[in-house]
Amino acid sequence: MQGNLEWFRTFRAIYETGTMSGAAKELFVSQPGVGLHINALEAYTGFPLFERTARRMIPTEKGKLLYKQMIGALNCLEEIEQRFKQKSGNINATVSIGMCVETFQHVLEKYIPTLDFNLMMQFGNNKQLLQLLEHGSVDLILTTETSNCSSLVLKPFTTEKFLLVSGKQTDISGFQSSDREALMDWLKSQIWYSTAADMESLSRFWEANFNERPDFVPNYIVPNKFSITRCLSGGKGLAILPDFLCRDAIETGDIIKLWEGYVDVENTIYFGQRKKSLYANEIECIEQMLRNEFKS
C-alpha cells in the first residue's frame, strides 16, 4: 500500500485548522472525506496522528513530528503545482464572511460589485458567528465577543456606542435627563421598538443608567434595526441603537438622537479569523473596506 499525497494535504489542513470541519472547508471536500483520508494515513504510518476530542483535533507527538518533516516538501510541491495552474488561468478565491445583516447592508453590500474574488455571507448573532469561525465554516467575522480558542485571532478595530433615539413625531417635551426618577417615568410611558436579537441592548443600557433592569417590554418587535429606523422616521417611539447604524438617519433628520446616557454604553467590535488562512489578502481587503466605512 502506498501513501497518497492528498492524505498529507488533509493531515496538514487538520493540523493547521484544528478541526475536521475546518479542514473540509479549506480543502473544499466533505467532512467524511477528510475522515477517510486521515484514517488512511494513520493506518499507513501505523500510529495515531491526532487525539480526538469533542471540539478539537489535538496533534500527538508523532503527529507533530510528521508535520515538521513533511511541511517543507508539501509546500514546495504545491508551489510547483500553482505555477503550472497559473498558465491555464486563475481561479477566483471564495471567502466566507459572517456578521449581522444590518452591518452587511450598511457598510459592505455596496462594495460587492468591486470585489475580484467570490464572497459568501453568513449571518447570525455573536455566539453563532464565533462557532462558525471555530468550526471553519467562515473565514472572517465581525463580533463583539471574545474567545479563548487558541486557533483564532480577534483584533479590535472600532467601538459602537448605544444611543437612545426617538421618532421625529415623538413628543419629547417631558424628557428631562437631570431628574432621574422623572426620566424613568417618562421613558416607561413611551412606545418602544426593538428586535428579538437586541432585547439585551435595551436591558444593558437601562441597567447601566438606572442600576436596575427594565420592568417593561417593547411594544413592537421588528425584524431588524433598519426596520426600527424606518418605523421611527414615520411616527412616534423610542429605541436603543448603535451609533454607526443610525448615524445617517440622525443626520437626515429622520430620527432624533435623544440621549447618550449618564454613562457610555459601548461594545468593542473585533475582526475574527483563524490564525492560518489561505485567504489573507482577500481578508485584508475586506477589513480595509470596513475600517474606511467605520471611520467615515
Residue 96 main-chain phi, psi, to 5 deg: -105, 130
pLDDT in tens, the chain (296 residues): 345 788 898 999 999 999 999 888 888 777 888 888 899 899 888 899 999 988 899 999 999 999 998 888 887 787 776 655 545 455 677 888 999 989 999 899 999 999 988 898 988 888 889 988 887 778 899 999 998 888 889 999 999 999 999 998 999 998 988 899 999 999 999 999 999 878 889 999 999 999 999 999 999 999 899 999 999 998 999 999 999 999 999 999 999 999 999 999 999 999 999 887 778 889 999 999 999 888 76
CATH class of segment(s) 5-87:
mainly alpha
Q: What fold does the segment set 94-155+270-295 form as a domain?
A: D-Maltodextrin-Binding Protein; domain 2 (3.40.190)
Q: Which CATH number fits domain 160-266: 3.30.420.40, 3.40.50.1370, 3.40.190.10, 3.60.21.10?
A: 3.40.190.10
Q: Do domains 5-87 and 160-266 have the same CATH topology?
A: no
Of 10, 153, 22, 143, the C-alpha closest to 70 is: 10
Sign of the CA dihedral with 287 first, then 273, 10, and 29 last: negative
Q: What is the distance, to the nearest Å, from the Cα of residue 63 to the centroid of all Cα atoms in its chain?
A: 31
| In the chain, domain spans | 5-87, 94-155+270-295, 160-266
Answer yes or no: pTM beyond 0.85.
no
